[in-house]
């Protein structure tokens, strides 16, 4: 099949999926979850060969150790993965959920209900565990999936995809979830903005940026997470210290880790123990222009910089407005947090900062689908259309407007023979 | 200002708008609505000059009469326009509306609330009445607006924009609503996918297609409305006749007008009165391959054809599945309707057809924001992300996730010292 044929086949499969009873999709999910345990020896054997090749590549300097580490599956990982897919199966049915109901006129009833987006193109770097996870999310939400796994994990991916394909049969067409093997296939698919509805890159910032720059298809994700913590003059310094240390050091490579610490100028002396604590935790501090002068720090490479590591930028600001202006000018619209005991200042910050996530007295690390209670996470979006912030299964849905009448025509309303009532109806069960 | 500077200024203005009390935006709306009446002489005088130029252009064959007709404003139009803007002012406040509330853990409260999309680029052909209407929608929803009016209406647009600019002062920056005068400015703005969030073309299919093909910015709208009515074997032929005549003749140039009539093969004789009625109404009938053979109609130029006129395609299909397959293959995903008295067949059609609007025993002409009870309509989207079908003010919104804590850190949850509760909270008033 050509990439276009594959995409069309995925769309046709999605339409079939959306029509099947939820129980069929759920049963396929449970078969995948069970097979991940029953066939673990086979999976781990294939994975061991990918990992061995990865180790050779690391020694030759052709792969980073971080990437190689993500390749490795284990008994424990497969158990978690299997439980996660059972949880996706247990979650409420996402399709056909009513979003809005309106009586347009007597006997003319409108319902907007959820429906699959259509065809997803997901591109994963390394991480073979993402393959069954994403397949499960697509299946649950009735979407066709074109999945490009990392070449480094090709043996693992092939076994995992085989398990998925077997679990789909016989009711779900195998074209519902296709595994792509080559970069060329991806380049071709990125052209198909008339057939593919959403691209989800799961990997490095450079992957996300490459995808964003090379397709007209909407991209769900974020290329950067330049998150700020602002210590207000009314900050409780104990809370500030806990939050700053957590936001930077809990997982410094995460997109929701703090990259810039903004400090109200009145705290120029009081903040010293927090800066010392960061230092003591192994965090290298770089300064904005004012911090460099005040504390003699090495200058930050830029005020718009994501370290993704045990390092951050520190800068002094005159007040709340300067902090917000700094965030708007240099941030990436991901997650920002204010530390203050002053309720009005907190309210002003939460009311004004134009980012996906805006927090008060909480670590930026909470910006995450699981922590937000969304269940399985598709990704975190810094785009402003469709979905913003942590995205769960809802981000893989669109809607349809269903209207039920009894021979109703528009001309009767134009002539005045009939009137619209536009009465909102309560949302009840599935439709 | 360069186009980029204009877009950045609109973003800054949007951020200011979002922070202002709703009453300030509402007051500006009422000033616009009132000025449309108070300054009607000035508006109509400018418009008369545009209309006169338009008439000359029509005589020279440089403008279609349809386009020239849309140029003309009148006392009555200004009165309706003014009332419409008061209605937008009366509508519930769209910003800060809670969409989801969750207690993540004791004392850690998450709320997702509505927020402006940011910067809209709206491109209007002719229609000077669209200028205050779209400005009002943008203002209500806190969005910055870059508005390109049709060159044919440039004098009318300038007066209308002047009125809007005066109504914004002094609390709302004038850069919130900018009027663009040249095509070159639009071409430059279409490049700015990092600053502009959504493009809304209001005009012909060819305008929409041009925009879609020339920008990476998401486009809200539809290039085509190839709507189907399917007469099932269990159709009530009286209802069928009413619906078919309404769907085709009520306003044949509308995007929600019927373009293709699919007829169950069992109705090959029974449908004759309906085809005759269409003919008698002045509708030219073109056939698909089977209809051409059955009835000797002239063949349709293509089964994927939008006449936008008193003409339509007719085709015979063997059953429901063939009708759905035809719609999926040749439709544009806009609006389709089934006419049947058989509840199960209706349910199967509504459950399977992958279009924005899917109707049972109702005219396709109901697919419209006003008729759906959405209030002011931004457009009808056949895209699958962000918004689908008729789009109201909600389509101009995104959201933010606000989290309120008291020194909460993620490490406490990882260590097991604290547990997530993820308790859903009722949605109450504004936040």
| pLDDT score, position A69 | 86
User: What is the helix (H) or strand (E) element at residue B314, kind and residue range?
Assistant: strand B311-317
Radius of gyration of chain B measured on its C-alpha atoms: 25
Matching residue, tokens 């809990």: A250
A260 in Cβ contact with A312 (< 8 Å): yes
A290 in Cβ contact with A263 (< 8 Å): no
Q: In this model, does residue B195 exceed pLDDT 80?
A: yes
- Taken as a whole, chain A contains a residue count of 431
Residues 199-238 of B with CB under 8 A from A: 216, 218, 236, 238
Q: Is A203 or A199 the better-scoring residue by pLDDT?
A: A199
Cβ <8 Å between B399 and A385? no
Of residues B373, B403, B409, nearest to A422 (C-beta): B373
Q: Give A361's contacts in chain B (Cβ within 8 Å).
A: 404-408
Structure tokens at A52: 């061995």
Distance between A39 CA and the closest CA of chain B, angstroms: 30
For residue A193, what are the contacts with CB-CB under 8 A and spacing of at least 6?
A215, A216, A217
| pLDDT score, position B347 | 97
Residues 24-43 of B with CB under 8 A from A: none
Give per-residue pLDDT as tens, A337-380.
999 999 999 999 999 999 999 999 999 999 999 999 988 788 89
| pLDDT score, position A206 | 87
Structure tokens at B147: 């508005």
HSE of B213 in the Cβ direction (CA atoms, 13 Å)?
A: 7
| pLDDT score, position A429 | 52
Of residues A362, A408, A424, nearest to B403 (C-beta): A362
Which three-class secondary structure state does DSSP give residue A406?
strand
B59-68, B162-171, B388-397: range with lowest mean pLDDT: B59-68
Return d(Cα B117, Cα B395) in angstroms, integer. 9
Phi-psi region of A210 (alpha: psi -120 to 50; beta: other; left: phi over 0): alpha
Structure tokens at B112: 């997702």
Phi/psi at B187 (5° precision): -55, -40
Structure tokens at A307: 């370290």
What is each CA distance from A129 to A124, A178, A380, in whole angstroms? 10, 16, 18
Q: In this model, does residue B236 exceed pLDDT 60?
A: yes
Give per-residue pLDDT as tens, B76-101.
999 999 999 999 999 999 999 999 99
Q: In this model, does residue B431 exceed pLDDT 50?
A: no
Q: Give pairs for B200-204: CB < 8 Å, separation 24+.
A: B200/B120, B200/B121, B200/B122, B200/B123, B200/B134, B200/B378, B200/B379, B201/B122, B201/B123, B202/B122, B202/B123, B202/B124, B202/B125, B202/B127, B202/B130, B202/B134, B202/B379, B203/B123, B203/B124, B203/B125, B203/B126, B203/B127, B203/B150, B204/B125
B430 close to A (CB below 8 A): no
Distance between A64 CA and the closest CA of chain B, angstroms: 27
Q: In this model, does residue A430 exceed pLDDT 70?
A: no
| pLDDT score, position A144 | 97
Q: By C-alpha distance, which of A148, A171, A152 is closest to A161? A: A148
Angle A40-59/A75-90 helices, nearest 10 degrees?
120
Return d(Cα A246, Cα B181) in angstroms, integer. 51
Question: Exposed (0-12), middle (13-18) or buried (19+): which is A307, by Cβ within 10 Å?
Answer: buried
Return d(Cα B323, Cα A363) in angstroms, integer. 55
Angle at B255 between CA A410 and CA B320, to 5 degrees: 75
The DSSP line for B157-216 is HHHHHHHHHHHHTTTS-GGGEEEE--HHHHHHHTT-TTT--EEEEES-HHHHHHHHHT-S
Q: What is the mean pLDDT of residues B141-167?
A: 95
Task: Cite the beta strand spans of B47-170 per DSSP E.
Answer: 98-105, 108-116, 119-124, 144-148
Q: In this model, does residue A428 exceed pLDDT 80?
A: no
Give per-residue pLDDT as tens, A391-424.
989 999 999 999 999 999 999 999 999 999 999 9
DSSP A297: P
- Residue in A362, A391, A426, A431 to test binding to B, most B beta-carbons within 10 Å: A362
| pLDDT score, position A427 | 86
User: What is the helix (H) or strand (E) element at residue B19, kind and residue range?
Assistant: helix B3-19
B183 close to A (CB below 8 A): no
Structure tokens at B222: 């539809």
A134 in Cβ contact with A143 (< 8 Å): no
Of residues A104, A354, A371, nearest to B371 (C-beta): A104
The DSSP line for B354-409 is -SSEEEEEE-GGG-STTTTT-SS--EEE--SSS--EEE-GGGGEEEEEEEEEEEE-
User: What is the helix (H) or strand (E) element at residue A183, kind and residue range?
Assistant: helix A183-189
Q: Give B115's contacts in chain A (Cβ within 8 Å).
A: 354
Of residues B239, B356, B408, nearest to A401 (C-beta): B356
Return d(Cα B198, Cα B10) in angstroms, integer. 13
Q: Give A360's contacts in chain B (Cβ within 8 Å).
A: 402-405
- Residue in A408, A414, A420, A427 to test binding to B, most B beta-carbons within 10 Å: A408
User: Beta-carbon neighbour count of residue A369 at 10 Å?
Assistant: 19
Please name the residue of chain B whose CA is at the shortest distance from the CA of residue A220. B385
Summary mean pLDDT of chain A: 95
Residues 331-390 of B with CB under 8 A from A: 346, 350-352, 354-363, 365-367, 371-373, 384-386, 388-390
Q: What is the mean pLDDT of residues B221-232?
A: 94
| pLDDT score, position B134 | 93
A4-8, A50-54, B125-129, B410-414: range with lowest mean pLDDT: B125-129
Q: In this model, does residue B200 exceed pLDDT 80?
A: yes
Structure tokens at B404: 């309120």
Q: Give B410's contacts in chain A (Cβ within 8 Å).
A: 246, 250, 363, 365-366, 371
Which residues are bridge partners to B113 per DSSP?
B98, B400
- For the ranges A84-98, B124-138, B331-345, the maximum mean pLDDT occurs at B331-345
Residues 274-303 of B with CB under 8 A from A: none
B401 close to A (CB below 8 A): yes
Q: In this model, does residue B161 exceed pLDDT 60?
A: yes
Phi/psi at B146 (5° precision): -110, 115
Of residues B102, B361, B413, nearest to A373 (C-beta): B102
Share of chain B above pLDDT 90, in %: 88
Q: What is the mean pLDDT of residues A228-242?
A: 98
Q: What is the mean pLDDT of residues A322-349?
A: 98
Return d(Cα B292, Cα A107) in angstroms, integer. 37
HSE of B22 in the Cβ direction (CA atoms, 13 Å)?
A: 15
Give per-residue pLDDT as tens, B379-413.
899 999 999 999 989 999 999 999 999 999 999 99
Give per-residue pLDDT as tens, A135-153.
999 999 999 999 999 889 9
Cβ <8 Å between B422 and A373? yes
Cβ <8 Å between B401 and A372? yes
DSSP B219: B
Q: Could you tell me whether strands A98-105 and A423-424 are parallel, antiparallel, or unpaired per DSSP bridges?
A: antiparallel
Please name the residue of chain A whose CA is at the shortest distance from the CA of residue B194. A383
Cβ <8 Å between B363 and A410? yes
Q: Give A257's contacts in chain B (Cβ within 8 Å).
A: none
Q: How close are the terminal C-alpha atoms of chain B, in Å?
A: 37
| pLDDT score, position B376 | 79
Q: In this model, does residue A431 exceed pLDDT 50?
A: no
Q: Give B390's contacts in chain A (Cβ within 8 Å).
A: 401
Angle at B265 between CA B262 and CA B267, to 5 degrees: 90
Cβ <8 Å between B243 and A362? no
Which three-class secondary structure state does DSSP give residue A113?
strand
Which three-class secondary structure state does DSSP give residue A209?
helix
Return d(Cα B379, Cα B416) in angstroms, integer. 50
Distance between A55 CA and the closest CA of chain B, angstroms: 30
User: What is the helix (H) or strand (E) element at residue A155, kind and residue range?
Assistant: helix A154-168
| pLDDT score, position B429 | 52
Return d(Cα B208, Cα B221) in angstroms, integer. 7
Give per-residue pLDDT as tens, A249-304.
999 999 999 999 999 999 999 999 999 999 999 999 999 999 999 999 999 999 99
| pLDDT score, position A125 | 87
Return d(Cα B336, Cα B301) in angstroms, integer. 20
Which three-class secondary structure state does DSSP give residue A126?
coil
Q: Give A199's contacts in chain B (Cβ within 8 Å).
A: none
Cβ <8 Å between A402 and B363? no
Of residues A245, A328, A390, nearest to B15 (C-beta): A328
A222 in Cβ contact with A328 (< 8 Å): no
**ipTM for the predicted complex:** 0.94
Please name the residue of chain B whose CA is at the shortest distance from the CA of residue A375. B422
Q: What is the mean pLDDT of residues A25-45?
A: 98
Q: What is the mean pLDDT of residues B254-266?
A: 97
């Amino acid at each position: 099949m050509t990439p276009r044929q594959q995409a069309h086949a995925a769309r046709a499969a999605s339409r079939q999926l959306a029509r099947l009873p939820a129980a069929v999709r759920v049963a396929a999910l449970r078969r995948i979850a069970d097979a991940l345990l029953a066939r673990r020896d086979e999976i781990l054997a294939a994975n061991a060969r990918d990992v061995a090749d990865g180790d050779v590549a690391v020694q030759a300097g052709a792969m980073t150790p971080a990437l190689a580490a993500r390749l490795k599956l284990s008994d424990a990982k497969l158990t978690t993965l299997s439980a996660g897919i059972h949880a996706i199966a247990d979650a409420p049915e996402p399709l056909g959920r009513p979003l809005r109901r309106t009586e347009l006129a007597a006997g003319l009833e409108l319902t907007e209900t959820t429906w699959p987006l259509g065809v997803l193109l997901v591109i994963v770097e390394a991480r073979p565990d993402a393959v069954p996870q994403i397949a499960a999310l697509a299946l649950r939400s009735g979407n066709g999936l074109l999945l490009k796994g990392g070449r480094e994990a090709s043996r693992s991916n092939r076994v995992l995809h085989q398990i998925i394909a077997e679990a789909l049969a016989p009711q779900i067409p195998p074209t519902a979830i296709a595994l792509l093997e080559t970069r060329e296939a991806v380049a071709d698919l990125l052209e198909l903005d008339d057939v593919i509805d959403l691209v989800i890159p799961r990997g490095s910032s450079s992957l996300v940026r490459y995808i964003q720059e090379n397709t007209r298809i909407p991209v769900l994700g974020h290329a950067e997470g330049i998150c700020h913590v602002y210590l207000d003059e009314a900050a409780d310094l104990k809370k500030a210290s806990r939050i700053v240390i957590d936001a930077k050091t809990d997982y410094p490579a995460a997109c929701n880790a703090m990259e810039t610490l903004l400090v109200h100028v009145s705290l120029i002396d009081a903040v010293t123990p927090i800066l010392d604590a960061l230092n003591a935790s192994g965090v290298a501090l770089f300064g904005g222009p004012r911090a460099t002068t005040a504390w003699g720090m090495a200058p930050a490479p830029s005020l718009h910089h994501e370290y993704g590591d045990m390092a951050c930028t520190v800068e002094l600001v005159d007040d709340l407005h300067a902090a917000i202006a700094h965030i708007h000018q240099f941030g990436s619209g991901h997650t920002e947090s204010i530390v203050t005991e002053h309720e009005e200042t907190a309210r002003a910050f939460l009311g004004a900062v134009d980012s996906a996530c805006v927090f008060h007295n909480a670590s930026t690390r909470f910006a995450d689908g699981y922590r937000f209670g969304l269940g399985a996470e598709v990704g975190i979006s810094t785009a402003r259309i469709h979905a913003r912030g942590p995205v769960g299964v809802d981000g893989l849905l669109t809607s349809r407007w269903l209207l039920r009448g009894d021979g109703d025509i528009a001309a009767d309303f134009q002539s005045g023979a009939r009137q619209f009532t536009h009465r909102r109806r309560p949302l009840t069960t599935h439709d």
